[in-house]
Amino acid sequence: MLFMVDFGFRVQAKDKKTKARVGEIMTPHGIIQTPAFVPVGTQGAVKSLTPEEIRECGTQLFFVNTYHTYLRPGLDVIKKFGGLHQFMGWDGPIITDSGGFQVFSLGRRGKGAEVADENLDPSSVSGSRFHGLDTKKKMKPDKILSAPRAIASLVKISDEGAEFRSHWDGTKHFFTPEKAMEYQWVLGSDIHIAFDDCTPYGLTHEKARISMDRTHRWAARSLSANAKIKMQNAKLGKPYQALYGSVQGSIYEDLRKESAKFISTLDFDGIAIGGVSVGETKKEMVDVLDWVVPLLPVEKPRHLLGVGEIDDIFALVARGMDTFDCVQPTRLARVGCVYINAASRKWEMDITKKACAEDIRPIEEGCECYACQHFSRAYIHHLFRVKELLAYRLATIHNIHFINSLMEDIRRAIEDGSLLDLTKQWL
């Protein structure tokens, strides 16, 4: 369903003791109450769930990866349907990334992977981690990407763009800021993100600056390309699609502040903060937010890319973030790890453990999700033990509903001035 709005944001309430705020993001496909959690549908779907089930879990905004949908099913297929909304059967707001994170992270993963960056040399990287991955540790492909196999890929990064090989079949592709904008307009998402250079964790200050400066040049090119495409689509009567700029700068205070100031001067509809889920510690992530958020325009929405563990949620909300996406709730669900509000402050329970085998209780007492309203821990434990597909669905339903319910509580707490009390209850 399309609404007669372009794009807008308004702050409705502020917490007096933190930077937390409650607001509304208006899009052509609906209003998003913030702060809000955004589940990730890498391939155009939250694994195992239908769009209706995602909505029933309280989801307002859906995150889809441009890189993956560009490769499969391909833009030509999605274009025939008129965009992602019609292709997926989801009539709510959608946010897409530029494809940059996937291009760079897939190129920097594991043994055998190579990156050819004209400004990057091995000595500039501390340790062996690229994008938070330990190249010495054996990891299952599903932990890295949703592909049947992981193949070595070569990414060549220059100021023009990024050349990469498909993780599906090894074919070569080339992303530029202009192409990233074109692709996202074809996808028809409500919110786009400018093409950025996703700086790997551990770069020296000098190399991090080179990466940040490239992101800034790409931001300007993204804006220019977006303006042209927006004008063309407006003449065709197509709905408005917003564009967020991306703040980078690794873990260096001066770079992060410089990036925040630069991106804030450009005519973006909102601001995304990237490079905080690529290997940094939680303290480093919080430091970045403390440096960046005070420099961002208060009238624009802010999105944090790739962060969303329980303790992270309270930290990012208190620092003024409006939306955030994370694969953690759904990824944990698929291995039998479900969320509970425990006095021990351990919010994850392994339902595959023997202790749940005869437990007649729901996953979480008082939870209103479909899984908790209809099934016991013992039953879901059984489903995981026999590898029944329903297990993954029920655990995913619960985890998404759990996080969305937490966000409802947080929004209420900000409005009535009790956010710190709620934080103490959880942390």
Assess whether 325 carries a catalytic annotation. Answer: yes
- Confirm if 198 and 191 have CB atoms less than 8 A apart: no
Assess whether 97 carries a catalytic annotation. Answer: yes
Q: Which of 414, 420, 427 shows the shortest CA–CA distance to 312?
A: 427
Rounded-to-integer distance, Cα 103 and Cα 92, Å: 27
- Token pair recorded at residue 75: 């833009």
DSSP letter for each residue of 359-413: --S-SSTT--SHHHHH--HHHHHHHHHTT-HHHHHHHHHHHHHHHHHHHHHHHHH
> What are the backbone dihedrals phi and psi of residue 334, each rounded to the nearest 5 degrees, phi first?
-70, -10
- Confirm if 267 and 242 have CB atoms less than 8 A apart: no
Rounded-to-integer distance, Cα 178 and Cα 182, Å: 6
For β-strands 62-64 and 94-96, DSSP reports them as parallel
Kindly name the residue from 15, 97, 117, 196 that is annotated as catalytic: 97
Under DSSP, the state recorded for 238 is P
Kindly name the residue from 190, 197, 312, 325 that is annotated as catalytic: 325
Q: What residues are labeled active site?
A: 97, 325
